[in-house]
Structure 1
Amino acid sequence: MYELLLLGTSIGAGFLGSLLGLGGGIIVVPVLTLVFHVNIRYAIAASLISIVATSSGAAASYLKDSLTNLRLAVFLEIGTVTGAIVGFLIASYIKAQFLFLLFGGLLFFSAIMMLRKREEHFSGHNHPWAEKLRLDGSYPDAKGGWIHYKVEHVPLGLFAMFGAGILSALLGIGSGIFKVLAMDGAMKMPIKASSATSNFMIGVTASASAGAYLLKGDIRPEIASPVAVGIIIGSFIGAKMMVKIPAVRIRQIFVVVLAIVSIQMIMKGLS
């Protein structure tokens, strides 16, 4: 019965994680710790496994649907992986309390800023780096046509990915929220392309952290297995639904998730 509840919960987390480009892990950890009373170390380890599962399950579908900007994802991983290495090096010198407060405050601010954007925005020109590296792209819409977009502020996006990599290593998350916010806000990409590209990227970031938790013995099969299976099922459903759901609706769901997670992080930091 316990495994079935974990499976059902993970399907829902995988659906939201795939749809929003979050990886599911940032939803799974609060549920495992607050609802199922799982040790936080085991919850984070299972979360990282689920992040890899979400990325693997959704990435293939998004690539097939031409939603993922593969060239941009590979380029931005330079910043993410470098940040993850720095995060591992400084993890023992930073108090978790300040990280949770910073994390929650930034998410809450991001939710407010994203809520103000009622309409999908498109950039009219490429940044010189984007022009030279051909980082712009296109994706199909619900009517069978194609939506073309440009990419702005590439250096700022790369720096944001560096920060996302640091937070991923420090907090044990895939940092999909920050990747989506960087691409959607700083680089002026459409929300669908941002979410799909983030899904492709988070698996690379989480794989290294999951390997470290595996060596420490924090991955419990009875927890990680149903979570990973549920995440895969949910991410597959989410990937199929994204093409049909309006971009405005995805943004509204994203804001709600941001607000809920930010409140949880702030409360945990204050406690």
Structure 2
Amino acid sequence: MIFIGIFAGIAGAILGLGGGIIVTPILTLAYGLPIKYAIGASIIVVIATSSGATISYLKDNVLNLRVAMFLEIATTIGAVAGSLLTGVLNPMYLYILFGLLLVFSGFNMAKKVRGTTDNFAKHTGPIAQKLELDSSYYDKAAHKKINYQVTNVPGGFIVMLGAGLASGLLGIGSGAFKVIAMDTFMKMPLKPSSSTSNFMMGVTAAASATVYFFNGSILPQIAVPLALGILVGAVAGSRIMQHLPAKWIRIVFVPVLFYIGIDMLLQGFGVKL
């Protein structure tokens, strides 16, 4: 469990996905753990990944705290609305809608892999300017400071609203949507997008963890060793990510997007991988 946690922590910190997408299939398929307990462990994994990675990202000033706090408003509203709409909306349509969004974003990110540079925003959006969302970070792979602007804030806000809705209604993680909202819609560089996503997921998961704890879905004998491994892996992953070129992070991230997107599409049509 500790070694699985280390691996999931490294991958989660680099990609901004929290590590739950790695841990849940391993626990259910390899260890035969019921999905209820696998999801409970996954929540702890997300919190641990966020905690370990955020320390490094804050220290090195990579994550954008203003963007994180603003988008958390959308995620929270969406999650509350999703939980209230359970049993009212047909989940099938949401699976198909969000599956298509992920596949589209996968193609969009694949284009950036083939390009020589990231398609950053050329100017600051009016909302971003008012909220002072623009920032900068030192890219350790490129050995230079990168100043970037944030644009299309409404588009990113809507994606995050939808991500929260999907999370509350379908019970799925929304790490991929967080990265998409910032990287694809708001034109932020991938490294700040990934690190900001890590921070945001911890905030969201912490709220959900209380529910899972009181309904008995979190097994300490599974969650504790996983969390210990995750903390070590997340700190290591946050260091590795800063020395990786953005292109290589995208090369790993694109197949993950396609996998999640296709899985959601198939679930929308009643087929499970």
Fold match, TM over 0.5? yes
Q: 1:129 to 1:97 in 2, by over 3 A?
A: closer
Amino acid at match of 1:211: T
- Structure 2 partner of 1:43: 38
Residue 165 (str. 1) matches residue 181 (str. 2): no
> Following TM superposition, by how much is the alpha carbon of 1:109 offset from its aligned partner in structure 2, in angstroms?
3.0
Q: How far apart in 2 are the matches of 1:20 and 1:194?
A: 9
Which segment drifts farther, 251-260 or 145-154? 251-260
Q: For structure 2, which runs of at least 5 residues remain unmatched after alignment?
A: none
Structure 1 counterpart of 2:126, one-letter code: P
Q: Does 1:178 align with 2:177?
A: yes
1:204 corresponds to which residue?
203
Offset at residue 198 of structure 1 (A): 0.7
* 2:63 pairs with 1:68: yes
Partners in 2 of 1:65 and 1:232 — Cα distance? 18
* Mapped contact 1:19–1:195 kept (Cα < 8 A): yes
Q: Assess if the C-alpha contact under 8 Å between 1:11 and 1:233 holds in 2.
A: yes
Residue 270 of structure 1 aligns with an amino acid whose one-letter code is V
Cα distance in structure 2, aligned partners of 1:110 and 1:42? 31
Shift of 1:166: 1.6
Deviation at 1:86, TM superposition (A): 0.9
Name the CA distance, whole Å, in 2 between partners of 1:82 and 1:265. 22
SS at match of 1:139: strand
Paired residue secondary structure (1:129): helix
The one-character-per-residue Cα deviations of 1:57-98 (angstroms, maximum 9, x if unpaired) are 111110111110111111111111111111211233455565
Q: Counterpart of 1:10?
A: 5
Q: Which has the larger displacement, 41-50 or 114-123?
A: 114-123
Give distance in 1, aligned partners of 2:257 and 2:175.
11
CA positional deviation for 1:115: 0.8
Match of 1:81 in 2: 76
Q: Percent identity?
A: 51
Deviations 1:211-263 (A, max 9, x none): 11111111111221122222212111110111110000001110122223334
The one-letter code sitting in structure 2 at the alignment partner of 1:135 is L
Shift of 1:145: 2.4
State the secondary structure of the residue aligned to 1:243.
helix
Q: Distance in 2 between matches of 1:46 and 1:139?
A: 33
Task: State whether residues 105 and 184 of structure 2, in contact with CA within 8 Å, keep that contact through their aligned partners in structure 1.
Answer: no
Distance in 2 between residues matched to 1:95 and 1:212, nearest whole Å = 23
Instruction: Give aligned pairs, total.
Output: 266
Which stretch of structure 1 is more off in the superposition, 50-59 or 228-237? 228-237
- Determine the structure 2 residue equivalent to 1:239: 238
In structure 1, distance between residues paired with 2:190 and 2:24: 24
User: What is the TM-score of this pair, normalised by structure 1?
Assistant: 0.91
Provide structure 1 residue ranges, at least 5 long, that are not aligned to the other structure.
1-5
Q: RMSD over aligned Cα, in angstroms?
A: 1.9
